[in-house]
Amino acid sequence: MLDFLPSVTNYKQTIERAAAQAGFAQVGFGRVKRLNDREDFYAQWLGQGRHGEMSYLAREPERRFDPRAIDRRFKSVVSLLWPYAPPSPPAVDWRAELRGRIAAYALGPDYHDYVLKGARVVSAAIESLCPGAVTRTYVDTGPVFEREWGARARLGWFGKNTMLLTRERGSYFFLAEVFTDLEFDSTDAPYREHCGTCRQCLDLCPTQALEDGYVMEPRKCISYLTIENRGPIPRELRAKVGMWLFGCDICQEVCPWNPGAAEPGDEDLMPRLVELMALDDFTFSRRFSKSAIKRAKRRGLLRNAAVVLGNTGNRDAVAALTQVLEREPEALVRSHAAWALGELGGRSARHALERARERDIDALVVEEARAGLERGVA
């Protein structure tokens, strides 16, 4: 604990200036207290298996509810908001051009790297103000409830899309936290909720992953299905994935609080799927080593690309999918290519599925080929 903390208000102003210079748009200060109001909800959420394959969410729950389980000296949290530009929905005909869409947050370099760098600037400012101060930074890492601390620091409110929302920035931003043993004057009064009667995010989610009561079913969320999910995408949800290759922005795009959009290049926003299907391990790593897209891994990204190709309804994709079905080493990718061929249909697709049914050594691929043939591809 620090023995002497002169002019805490001046400290806050200095920290705010450092945060702004580092690239953060908003700063909030909150007292570190146990998040008692989240324990029952989280325990029930985990008990229902909503975390799916995200097993890390079930680890170290005590640290999530009370950061003092990480370091008992923590007194305050500096919550930081880093904005990113939302893209306009592209004018590209994704079906005709065989393209898939990437969520806005994953465009460009991996946000973990540059937002963490900015958070460390804030941490260094604290340590320069008070030599010996305790600091610890997080950017979407570690057992930290980022939305909750952002709300406690009065950056915004929990929206019906389960994201933190602000009047100024909507939901297009990343969060970072600096926990410290400095004490700042702050209030626990909640930020006023401004969603009102709007239900656009709930009603327009293709998979109905959002529920009343500010709850999400991640196992139905397109972002979860295309990123965190390591196995097959459930058949009943594949068509609803639509054009989303990595992540999804629908619940943000329909939110009235989100600001005007930027105009990224089509190649960045909607890569060509046939090119992606040809990536081997080396070319995947070279292309995505500094991108958040690497989280899906090659097999996951190609699985997603196969699903989107099937959703295009464009038989120009049959040749690429047939090649994948015959040459791709990953059974997960082959099985989704078989599904896509079944969706697209045509004589060439049927021949490819017949060969896969007869020759493939993986039962899942054989089953998908059989199911595609039974759907009556013509």
Catalytic residue ranges: 140
DSSP 241: H
Q: Given the structure tokens 């139905």, which residue do they identify?
A: 220
| Cα–Cα distance for residue pair 167/162, rounded to 1 Å | 15
| Cα–Cα distance for residue pair 16/81, rounded to 1 Å | 11
List C-alpha distances in Å: 189 to 30, 171, 203.
10, 21, 30
| Cα–Cα distance for residue pair 256/166, rounded to 1 Å | 11
Contact indicator for 19, 80 with CB cutoff of 8 Å: yes
| Cα–Cα distance for residue pair 195/202, rounded to 1 Å | 12
Interaxial angle between packed helices 347-359 and 363-374, expressed in degrees from 0 to 180 and rounded to the nearest 10: 150
List C-alpha distances in Å: 1 to 63, 79, 120.
20, 21, 21
Strands of 86-202, DSSP E = 101-102, 135-138, 157-158, 164-165, 173-180
Nearest CA to 84 out of 65, 66, 107, 67 is that of: 107
Q: Given the structure tokens 């602000």, which residue do they identify?
A: 166
Contact indicator for 328, 334 with CB cutoff of 8 Å: yes
- DSSP per residue over 291-323, as a string? SGGGGGHHHHHHHHHHHHHHHH--GGGHHHHHH
Q: What is the dihedral of CA 259, 263, 269, 275, to 10 degrees?
A: 170
Contact indicator for 67, 146 with CB cutoff of 8 Å: no
Contact indicator for 123, 143 with CB cutoff of 8 Å: no
Nearest CA to 244 out of 192, 289, 199, 293 is that of: 293
